[in-house]
């Protein structure tokens, strides 16, 4: 069981003017499944490579169970990294690929064969020891790469965009497999992704980075319900932001006054934020926190309907039950209700 501590970690590549990773501090508890999330170029993979020892930090420290890993070479850290493109040896069989780490440690052939069989069972690919990697699908190769990493019983497992090369169906299967393996082994696991859905489904906690800087470190639901900034809210699909002034839980705006009892700030210039799926369309006149608008567009999505509603020059996007098309159409006037427990105040 390994706790990972990242302390004031910085990385500046030679010739660069900006930091790839800027004063990163992060605590990953033993046995947690953690996601490093953010757009391309935000410093996620650089951070992971510094944890693995494949990159040297410009400054700062990586600690496992309180022990600095900076002076320890990568092969002795007990941190194994599974890369996006699998990196299987094409001239070796699947069994040889999976058992490679144990062979390098001098483990006897009989033990390796036994452990290889166990790992292939774990990743749900029994009996493929004699095949070559090229005879396997992309999803199967990803599983073999995972088995090769797990067979050496690492202290920390690092996954770099583990599902990005797979189609949608295989991604779902691999998510379930990774989550199942992590629960069974209780290994500390960190994965890099740019996919919000993937992070939310898999991770116990998410560290969101922009431009090398950690912006929010929280449980998945907090990113949807309690984002720290407008940028974070937008990254997680937030679309509705109303400017105004907040004072004691009351929010004054160009379209009316609303109760906004919670948020990052509680007074001053602010943005009222509410997710599209949290707006109630068609609320009764006289209800609290309502505004009257007109539907200007509607798209039927099968599992839901998406509306755009204009309220006194402010555009709101609403996600509703697909059956709502029986009651609402373009051009209709409707009441939108912003339930106080669903709205969130952000810095302007």
Whole-prediction pTM = 0.89
Structure tokens at 229: 């900034």
CA distances from 63 to 55, 139, 295 (A): 15, 33, 55
Q: pLDDT for 246-274, tens place per residue?
A: 998 999 999 999 999 999 999 999 999 99
Predicted local confidence at residue 176, as pLDDT = 87
- In the chain, residues under CATH classification 2.40.50.100 are 238-347
Predicted local confidence at residue 12, as pLDDT = 96
CA distances from 248 to 18, 87, 92, 234, 290 (A): 40, 57, 67, 25, 19
- In the chain, residues under CATH classification 3.40.50.300 are 4-225
**What is the distance between the alpha carbons of residues 127 and 151, in angstroms, rounded to a whole number?**
16
Burial 315-335 (b: 16+ CB within 10 A, else e): ebbbbbeeebeeebeeeeebb
Structure tokens at 77: 């850290």
Instruction: For residue 149, report the phi and psi dihedrals to the nearest 5 degrees.
Output: -75, -40
Residue 257 C-beta-side C-alpha neighbours within 13 Å: 4
In terms of C-beta density within 10 A (0-12 exposed, 13-18 middle, 19 or more buried), how is residue 29 classed?
middle
Tell me the torsion sign for CA atoms 85, 88, 89, 94: negative
Nearest to 35 by CA among 172, 203, 233: 203
Q: pLDDT for 292-332, tens place per residue?
A: 999 999 999 999 999 999 999 999 999 999 888 888 999 99
Residue 135 C-beta-side C-alpha neighbours within 13 Å: 9
CATH number of 238-347: 2.40.50.100
Q: pLDDT for 201-221, tens place per residue?
A: 999 999 999 999 999 999 999
Among the CATH numbers 1.10.3720.10, 3.40.50.300, 3.90.550.10, 3.30.70.20, which is that of 4-225? 3.40.50.300
Predicted local confidence at residue 138, as pLDDT = 83
**What is the distance between the alpha carbons of residues 160 and 112, in angstroms, rounded to a whole number?**
26
Q: For the chain of 348 residues, list the mean pLDDT of each consecutive stretch of 10.
A: 95 93 96 95 95 96 96 92 85 92 90 92 90 89 90 92 79 86 91 93 96 96 94 94 94 96 93 95 88 95 94 96 89 95 94
Nearest to 77 by CA among 96, 106, 55: 55
Q: Tokens 């992070």 appear where? A: 199
Check residue 317 and report its DSSP letter. E
């Amino acid at each position: 069981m390994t706790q990972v501590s990242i302390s004031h970690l910085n990385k500046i590549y030679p010739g660069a003017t900006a930091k790839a990773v800027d004063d990163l501090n992060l605590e990953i508890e033993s046995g947690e499944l953690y996601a490093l999330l953010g757009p391309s170029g935000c410093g996620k993979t650089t951070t992971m490579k510094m944890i693995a020892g494949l990159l040297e930090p410009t400054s700062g420290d990586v600690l496992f169970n309180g022990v600095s890993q900076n002076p320890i070479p990568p092969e002795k850290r007990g941190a194994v990294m599974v890369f996006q493109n699998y990196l299987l040896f094409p001239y070796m069989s699947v069994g040889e690929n999976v058992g490679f780490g144990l062979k390098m440690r001098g483990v006897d052939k009989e033990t390796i064969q036994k452990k290889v069989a166990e790992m292939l069972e774990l990743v749900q690919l029994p009996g493929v020891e004699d095949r070559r990697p090229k005879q396997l699908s992309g999803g199967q190769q990803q599983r073999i790469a995972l088995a090769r990493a797990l067979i050496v019983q690492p202290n920390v497992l690092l996954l770099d965009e583990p599902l990005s090369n797979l189609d949608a169906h295989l991604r779902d299967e691999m998510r379930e497999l990774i989550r199942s393996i992590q629960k069974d082994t209780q290994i500390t696991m960190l994965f890099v992704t740019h996919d919000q859905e993937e992070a939310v489904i898999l991770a116990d906690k998410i560290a969101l980075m922009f431009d090398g800087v950690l912006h929010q470190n929280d449980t998945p639901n907090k990113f949807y319900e309690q984002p720290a900034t407008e940028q974070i809210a937008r990254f997680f699909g937030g679309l509705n932001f109303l400017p105004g002034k907040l004072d004691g839980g009351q929010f004054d705006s160009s379209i009316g006054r609303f109760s906004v009892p919670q948020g990052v700030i509680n007074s001053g210039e602010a943005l009222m934020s509410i997710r599209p799926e949290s707006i109630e369309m068609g609320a009764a006149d006289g209800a609290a926190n309502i505004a009257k608008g007109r539907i200007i567009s509607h798209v039927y999505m099968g599992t839901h309907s998406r509306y755009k509603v204009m309220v006194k020059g402010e555009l709101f996007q609403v996600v509703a039950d697909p059956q709502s098309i029986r009651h609402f159409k373009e051009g209709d006037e409707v009441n939108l209700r912003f339930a106080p427990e669903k709205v969130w105040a952000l810095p302007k």
